[in-house]
Amino acid sequence: MPLNNNRISSPFLLSFFIFSLPLCSLFSQEKLKKLLTKQQANKIRYLSSDGEFTYYQGHNGNLVLASNYETKEIIKGDQNHQYFITEESSFVSAQKNSSKKILLEIIPDFYTNSHALKNHQIHTLILGESLSTPLGEGIRGQIHLKGRYISYYRPSEKKIILHDSASNKKEYSIQLQNKINAYFTPSIVIPENNYLFYTDLNEKNQMGLLLFNLKDGKINPVYKTTISGKKIEICLLNNLLILGEFPLPGVDSDSSIFSLDIEKEKDFSLLKKIYHSEKADTGNLQCNSNLKEFYFIQNQSSEKKKSYELVRYDLQEEKVINLTNFEYTTNYFIMDGLVLVPFRQDYYIARGSYETKDISFSNKKK
């Protein structure tokens, strides 16, 4: 299955790639705690950091919620079904879980029709509740501004769809200009009610960042990569837009990360370069508003050996800090502020803390 050129660890597809780390990788287990839950790690689709809620895939293909020593069936499926659950990356977990909206993507016939651009069924639900609401069909669903907006991408039409939950009838559609790469999927962030940023490809296969005005529908390009062999990755860290420019696989080029305080300024000529490496980093840039930091996979190779590690960037000290010692880290993901790294059928906690309230519950179903 071709992977998204933007982010390998897209939370919607990551669940099926997270256990692909080489078994020969070296790992310093004493530095990272293993995530302990009752469910097998590869069955978990989402868990809250306080241990209150765990969504997992049952052996019959159903989606199940475990909470308060009981389980509830969310979706009745079969063994060909697969599920992805995602959250808004900028949502701070300290807020009440009862108000937290999460996004569910259902993929029927995953094993018999696993085309990367096949539409998923997209549902919304409130964390801890068992009733989901169908929203539409597409891929790469995202939640923005505490659930005010929900976006997803329809690859067959090359369109970004944006739902305004404040007005159930209001829907925006953005047509991509990309005519070259059928497997390209855009990255999207929405810092304010009036506009969003998204990525696209031009006729020269050069990736750019564009600003879409929700009020008048106008689109303005604000940034593009220096060469066609690079990708743009974006995420929001409170009022900071973090923009990474990394080489595509197989391209030997440098890597850079920039920041811009978009509450104060939207002039991209004022981008501040906060990181640069002459090596080709993997990227996979993600922000964690809980801890006010961002992460990416850095190329730490030497002449003697290849090495790629998950790192965090400390904004106050303006430096990169290692989080793993795999020698070849390929993936990581964030659940409710927890930064989790897969290794040999287990998850390890690279950042954050987890309470194990869910590790002993009954099989009683409501």
* pLDDT value of position 92: 53
Cβ proximity of 55 and 47 under 8 Å: yes
Cα–chain center distance at 325: 22
Q: What is the pLDDT of residue 24?
A: 33
pLDDT, residue 98, reads: 57
Quote the pLDDT of residue 91. 53
Percent residues over pLDDT 70 in the chain? 85
- First-to-last alpha carbon distance for the chain, in angstroms, is 37
Asked if pLDDT for residue 226 goes beyond 70, the answer is yes
- In this prediction, residues 233-249 reach a mean pLDDT of 94
* Closest to 102 (Cα-Cα) out of 91, 118, 114: 91
Residue ranges per structural domain of the chain: 14-359
Model-level pTM?
0.85
Mean pLDDT of the chain: 84
Total residues belonging to the chain: 366
Helix (H, G, I), strand (E, B) or coil at 357: helix
Residue 3 has pLDDT above 80, yes or no: no
Mean pLDDT of 284-292: 88
**190 neighbors 165 (Cβ within 8 angstroms):** no
Give the pLDDT band (50/70/90) at residue 186.
very high
pLDDT tens-digit map of 250-280: 898 999 999 999 888 788 989 999 999 999 9
Reduce the DSSP state of residue 299 to 3 states and report it.
Answer: strand
Which pLDDT value is given to residue 283? 96
Of 132 and 21, which is predicted with more confidence?
A: 132
Is it the case that residue 37 has pLDDT exceeding 90? no
* pLDDT score for 218: 94
The predicted pLDDT at position 77 comes to 78
Tokens coding 284:
């996979």
pLDDT the model gives residue 203 = 92
Enter the tokens of residue 106. Answer: 């259902």
Q: Is 358 helix (H, G, I), strand (E, B) or coil?
A: helix
Average pLDDT over residues 184-203: 93
Tokens, residue 197: 């940023």
CA–CA separation, 162 and 160 (whole Å) = 7
- pLDDT given at position 40: 83
Contact partners, residue 237, CB within 8 Å, separation at least 6: 90, 259, 287, 288, 289, 292, 293, 294, 315
Q: Which CATH architecture has domain 14-359?
A: 7 Propeller (2.130)
